[in-house]
Amino acid sequence: MPTSKIVYLGDLRTQATHLASSEAIITDAPVDNNGKGEAFSPTDLAATSLGSCAMTIMGIVARRDEIDFTGSEIEITKIMSSEPPRKIARIEVNFKMKTPVELSEEVKAKYIRTAHTCPVALSLHPEIEQVFTFEWIV
């Protein structure tokens, strides 16, 4: 069964619908690539997916460990290559991990390893530099 349906709306814009939930998102070409930049670009979504996937996998492990990461945040910075062809060169993933108690260095290391092994991280081309930083906040 298909996962999503994408409709080209014209003017370098698409609407992607998740078929199981009917949730939709709009994509727009970025300003530096002839677009309006009024929504996520496809490469923005790829970079954002890395952070979302890492947090989701960490959340699965945290639930099992009875640790609550609710309120944690991630900031994503996507850097495009300066040389042709146009592609993502680097994704910076900055985690601000909110925890109810101080975690040991060993436990923090476990979650850092978990983030790096999320399915999106493992699926991206190896030439894309993935830089993860963590700030732990009690």
pLDDT at 40: 97
What mean pLDDT do residues 79-100 have? 97
Mean per-residue pLDDT of the chain:
97
pLDDT at 22: 98
Tokens matching residue 128: 């894309």
Name 78's bridge partners: 91
Tokens matching residue 54: 């890492």
What mean pLDDT do residues 31-51 have? 96
What distances in angstroms separate CA 75 from CA 4, 54, 72, one per listed residue? 26, 12, 10
Do 98 and 71 contact (CB within 8 A), yes or no? yes
pLDDT at 62: 97
pLDDT-above-90 percentage for the chain:
100
Q: Which domains are present in the chain?
A: 4-33 (no CATH), 42-137 (3.30.300.20)
Task: Give the confidence band of 115 by pLDDT, cuts at 50, 70, 90.
Answer: very high
Specify the DSSP class assigned to residue 32.
G
CA distance 96 to 88: 23
What mean pLDDT do residues 39-60 have? 98
